[in-house]
Amino acid sequence: MSKIKVLVVDDSAVVRQVLTELLKSDPQIDVIGAAADPIFALEKMQKEWPDVIVLDVEMPRMDGITFLRKIMSERPTPVVICSTLTEKGAETTMQAMSAGAVDIITKPKIGLKQFLGDAIAEITRAVKAAALANPKRLAPAASAAVKPKLTADAILAPASTHHAMAETTDRVIAIGTSTGGTQALELVLTALPRVCPGIVIVQHMPEKFTAAFAARLNSLCQIEVREAQNGDRVIPGRALIAPGGKHLLLKRSGAQYVAEVIDGPVVNRHRPSVDVLFRSVAKCAGKNAIGIIMTGMGDDGAAGLLEMKQAGAYTVGQDEATCVVYGMPKEAFKRGAVQKVLPLEEIAGVISSQRML
């Protein structure tokens, strides 16, 4: 098997040096170069094109997002974002994910060398997952135009809530995704009408980024999208995204479904874990739920989706052709957890119509 060719692009000499040394220590990875900014990177790439780019966001001469958009428009290539944990950085990084980046590695402003040494397993995992990405699925498609949300929605909430009580007990949508999921979720959620079943989502993502990700989707979608908080109601027209670093569970409270956000051990190397969400949905929603597993590396969600199916839920897996990484849906299909395989573009139709195809 040929090695994964990696290019590191970061204005920090420490990051470039440490990342290069750590990645080279993996026998499956070959670091073909490191560049202080995208201009130098482009010069190196003209001589040898990498399989994966590890990219900082804030850099001189050309920022990472501009560089990423250029790459995705000219020659789509898997990119792993390596960004600092700041609110501003989180918003910027979400723009990068929307532009086609496949994963995020968070780094602190201080203690970089120690952090990178401790996080080498996560970094190599991200690089290897990115190397499996389907380049044709990385270039972002233009989002469908949606009507702006009316401010009167908040005023009409009590009436909608009363009506939603019966609807919520009828159908809940649970979605799990990982690598490539930010783009996939944007395509699905922006296609939904304002009135659709309540949705709970686990997207593998670090702390501090999920709030910015949810805010971005909320600005694009007709439905309300927000980072889940403990006790949030799951109602029609609302999608709740699990906070990074916390597990999201669905609970029943009388005729209502509510979100429970908890700490806990890492499950399947993830917190939040798709398996945790899917199991909770299987237990308290059963046949009233639809489970959807989408693009991602690994097997998180496969066991939970099977539990949902066994509890009477309808289950959907994204097809290989439209996945950035066909890992999670493939494993779920192998275990017999998937009842219907669909391309990404058809998943919104299942949610909005609540049909079991």
Give the CATH number of the domain where residue 63 resides: 3.40.50.2300
| Active-site option among 103, 275, 300, 319 | 300
Q: What is the pLDDT along the chain (357 residues), one digit of tens a residue?
A: 689 999 999 988 888 888 898 899 899 999 999 999 999 999 999 999 999 999 988 887 888 888 988 898 889 999 998 877 555 556 777 777 778 888 888 776 666 667 666 777 888 888 998 898 887 777 665 444 433 432 223 222 333 333 333 334 568 999 999 988 988 999 999 999 998 999 999 999 877 788 888 998 999 999 999 999 999 999 999 999 999 999 999 998 888 899 999 988 888 888 899 999 999 999 999 999 999 999 998 899 999 999 999 999 999 999 999 998 899 999 999 999 999 999 999 999 999 886 554
Active site residue 178: yes
130 and 156 co-located in one domain: no
| H runs (alpha helix) in the chain | 13-24, 38-47, 64-74, 87-99, 112-118, 120-131, 152-155, 157-170, 181-190, 209-220, 274-284, 302-310, 328-334, 344-353
Would you say residue 313 lies in a domain? yes
Active site residue 300: yes
- Give residue 243's pLDDT: 94
Would you say residue 145 lies in a domain? no
CA atoms within 13 Å, Cβ hemisphere of 256: 12
CATH code of the domain covering residue 341: 3.40.50.180
Would you say residue 147 lies in a domain? no
Would you say residue 126 lies in a domain? yes
Q: What are the beta bridge partners of residue 175? A: 201, 292
| Active-site option among 204, 247, 275, 319 | 204
166 and 215 co-located in one domain: yes
- The order of strands in the sheet holding 340-342 is 224-227, 238-241, 198-203, 172-177, 289-293, 314-318, 340-342
- Give residue 112's pLDDT: 64
207 and 114 co-located in one domain: no
Query: Number of structural domains, the chain?
Result: 2
Give the end of a domain, one of 83, 113, 137: 137
194 and 254 co-located in one domain: yes
Would you say residue 146 lies in a domain? no
115 and 158 co-located in one domain: no
Q: Report d(CA 355, CA 108) in Å as an integer.
A: 45
- Give residue 83's pLDDT: 76
276 and 337 co-located in one domain: yes
296 and 189 co-located in one domain: yes
Would you say residue 48 lies in a domain? yes
DSSP character for 239? Answer: E
Can you give the residue range of the structural domain that contains 221?
152-353
133 and 168 co-located in one domain: no
Would you say residue 143 lies in a domain? no
- Give residue 121's pLDDT: 80
Would you say residue 54 lies in a domain? yes
Give the end of a domain, one of 114, 137, 160: 137
Give the end of a domain, one of 107, 137, 167: 137
Pairing of strands 256-262, 247-253: antiparallel
DSSP 3-state of 296: strand
107 and 50 co-located in one domain: yes
| Active-site option among 83, 178, 273, 280 | 178
Active site residue 204: yes
74 and 175 co-located in one domain: no
Hey, what are 250's tokens?
Answer: 């669905």
162 and 56 co-located in one domain: no
74 and 176 co-located in one domain: no
